[in-house]
Amino acid sequence: MNHPQPVSPAGIMSIPGHIDPVPVPRAFVARQDGRIDLLGLTRPDLRMALETAQLEPKQAKLRAKQIFQWIYNRGVTEFALMTDIARDMRSWLEQRFVISRPQVIEAQVSSDGTRKWLLRSDDGQDYEMVFIPDADRGTLCVSSQVGCTLNCRFCYTGTMRLVRNLTPGEIVGQVMLARDALGEWPSQPEGRMLTNIVMMGMGEPLYNFDHVRDALKLVMDGDGLALSKRRITLSTSGVVPMMARAGEEIGVNLAVSLHAVTKEIRDEIVPINRKYGIEELLQACADYPGANNARRITFEYVMLKDKNDSDAEAHELVRLIRKYRLPAKVNLIPFNPWPGAPYD
């Protein structure tokens, strides 16, 4: 479903003034074939979808539990495979509902095992996800929006306008698709390749808070994908008003795209700093629920030649971390140039 986008007189999308800036399809919006997609629905919404289709409440409660486990524990996309549900009920479900996956436009695999997917939504919007294997873990980098509003100058996504937020189904669908590709069904805690998730793909997760929260709760649900919150990291460029809420309602690890330690430079390369400055951001980090020496906040710092990589800036970063008594680790990231990038 396409939705009109707010634009300025110049034809460029206006910066959102609230957390859920762009309208997207909500629960129970039927597809073109009239069926409702169950992927991404919370447990209560899944039950409500069945009741809305005229299933008796007690039946809806039972079937919702069964369907949830088939979707998120076994990775099933066809009702016909749900063998603990009566055949006539499976047929009834097939007529009214669907369990989708993102459409894969392109899939790449590098020599080190890194995998990258270009995905396309039902309304024709493209977004990406990346799986990065390591010796003792495998990390999936997940997108939360199509495009971005933040205009970070070193980031290629920042050159794209924000089209819309991804739905919970489109977010959790990235995890499901990775599990499909890695052959990791049924879901099990031991021996799996996909062990970690980072919300570091396209978009600012805290500008799509509700959908990111609902998707990650599905990922963490013990009856489904069952990934521990300690293995999930949410990255923000500094949407300060939402950080405490993220800690309270989601409770995963926090990463902050810092990239500079002075107002002048961060204003330039991470423009949200003009709204929420470094001091305000670091205080929000200090107040982040659950942060401690066992669950440190990660500060991401892209190294830009002759811009933010001096010894003086390294010392200032250490000073700021000590000043705010932050349980922190710093991830120094080599800059990956792209055509037209203003930095080296």
Boundary of a domain, candidates 63, 98, 133: 98
Domain C-terminal end among 98, 121, 152: 98
Domain range for 60: 36-98
Give the per-residue pLDDT at 45.
94
Residues 93 and 111 in one domain: no
Q: Give backbone dihedrals phi and psi of 49, rounded to 5 degrees, phi first.
A: -60, -40
CA distance 75 to 63: 16
- Residue 42: CB atoms within 10 A of its CB come to 17
Q: Are residues 48 and 177 in the same domain?
A: no
Residues 167 and 87 placed together within one structural domain of the fold:
no
Q: Considering the domain boundaries, does residue 128 fall inside one?
A: yes
Domain count, the chain: 2
Specify whether 64 is located in the same domain as 204. no
78 with 127, same domain: the answer is: no
12 found inside a domain: no
Q: What is the pLDDT of residue 60?
A: 96
Residue 249: CATH number of its domain: 3.20.20.70
Q: Indicate if 79 and 134 belong to the same structural domain.
A: no
The whole-number average pLDDT for the span 80-90 is 97
Average pLDDT of the residues in 171-200? 93
Over residues 89-107, the pLDDT tens digits come to 999 999 999 999 999 999 9
d(CA 319, CA 148): 31
Would you say the C-alpha torsion 36, 228, 139, 152 has a positive or negative sign?
Answer: positive
User: Does the pTM exceed 0.85?
Assistant: yes
Give the C-alpha separation, 132 to 139, whole Å.
5
Write down the pLDDT at residue 27. Answer: 56
Q: 280-329 pLDDT, tens per residue?
A: 999 999 999 999 998 999 999 999 999 999 999 999 999 999 999 999 99
Over residues 73-79, mean pLDDT:
97
Q: What's the pLDDT tens digit per position in 29-40?
A: 788 888 999 999
210 and 124 share a domain?
A: yes
pLDDT at 341 over 70: yes
Q: Which of 164, 166, 51, 169 is nearest to 100 (CA)?
A: 169
CA dihedral 338, 308, 280, 205 (to 10 degrees): 20
84 shares its domain with 187:
no
In this structure, the chain runs to a length of 344
Query: Are residues 239 and 318 both part of a single domain?
Result: yes
Percent of the chain scored above 70 by pLDDT? 92
* The pLDDT of residue 10: 32
